[in-house]
Amino acid sequence: MAKTEKQGNAFVETIKTVVYALLIAGVFRTLFFQPFWIPSGSMKQTLLIGDFLFVNKMAYGYSYASCPSVVLPRFGINLDAKKLCGVFDGDNTRLFGGDPERGDVVVFRHPVSGRDYIKRLIGLPGDKVQVDNGILRINGTVVPQEADGTFEEVMTLQGPQGLRPRCANGAVGEGGTCIKERAIETLPNGASYAVLNIGPQGSDRTGVYTVPEGHYFFMGDNRDNSADSRLAQTAGGVGFVPYENLIGRADRIVFSSAGRSMLFFWTWRGDRFFEAIK
């Protein structure tokens, strides 16, 4: 066999291997687990900017939103899940569907932009949800909070976007200590988690939201720094999220990077490897 023919066969085999690997990865990501990189601080302290986790897509079954979106602006690639699997959109149902529980940390598709969001599930279909002077009420009953000291972090640029944290202790210079008030909130089903408070603002006082059937109400744990269901979709928020837009449940952090890139291993947070998400 000629040398050029051998080289040609080797090239073909390499291409086949790459294609098969991509297909396997695509099936794995579509059906089982989807990687997710935390880009913002809306879920602090539960999730920090730079946390890397896998989303359990089997938890709630499958819909069009289970198809992965591939968005790489640098390379002009924008393969949206709705373009790939939009034929399954429109009936607000799921295949092998399971019901999410109040308090779950959920990744979902924004109903308008289609971007992936991660928030905590607060309101179920039929619930009446209100925030009154910073305190959550569900169906007219106060959701108790117990003061739990403060959450502290260094005032510096965070993550690839270079975001700066907001602080309850006013203007903090570079390298200073940014402080937020912390409380433990406990939902009616017993799910408990830490919520953060920066200070009084408009989202601390809302009207009563009645969650429609087949929809859910989400909030960030970093209450004063979260665009969530308290804001309508037209105002830059999330609004009510349809059942079919749920992607999966976030159960565990794999690792976490405090730097500008997950590849900067020297910035990885040693205390967050395989940490359970509560």
119 counts as catalytic: yes
Q: Which residues of 184-196 are buried (b: 16+ CB within 10 A; e: fewer)?
A: ebebeeebebbbb
Distance between CA 35 and CA 215 in Å, rounded?
24
Catalytically annotated residue among 44, 119, 180, 203: 119
Q: How far apart are CA 160 and CA 33, in angstroms?
A: 23
110: buried, middle or exposed (CB in 10 Å: 19+, 13-18, 0-12)? Answer: middle
Which residues does 211 contact at the CB level (< 8 Å), separation at least 6? 123, 124, 125, 126, 127, 128, 129, 217, 240
Q: Which of 40, 42, 69, 256 is catalytic?
A: 42
User: Across-strand partners of 241?
Assistant: 216
Any idea which residues carry the catalytic annotation? Answer: 42, 119
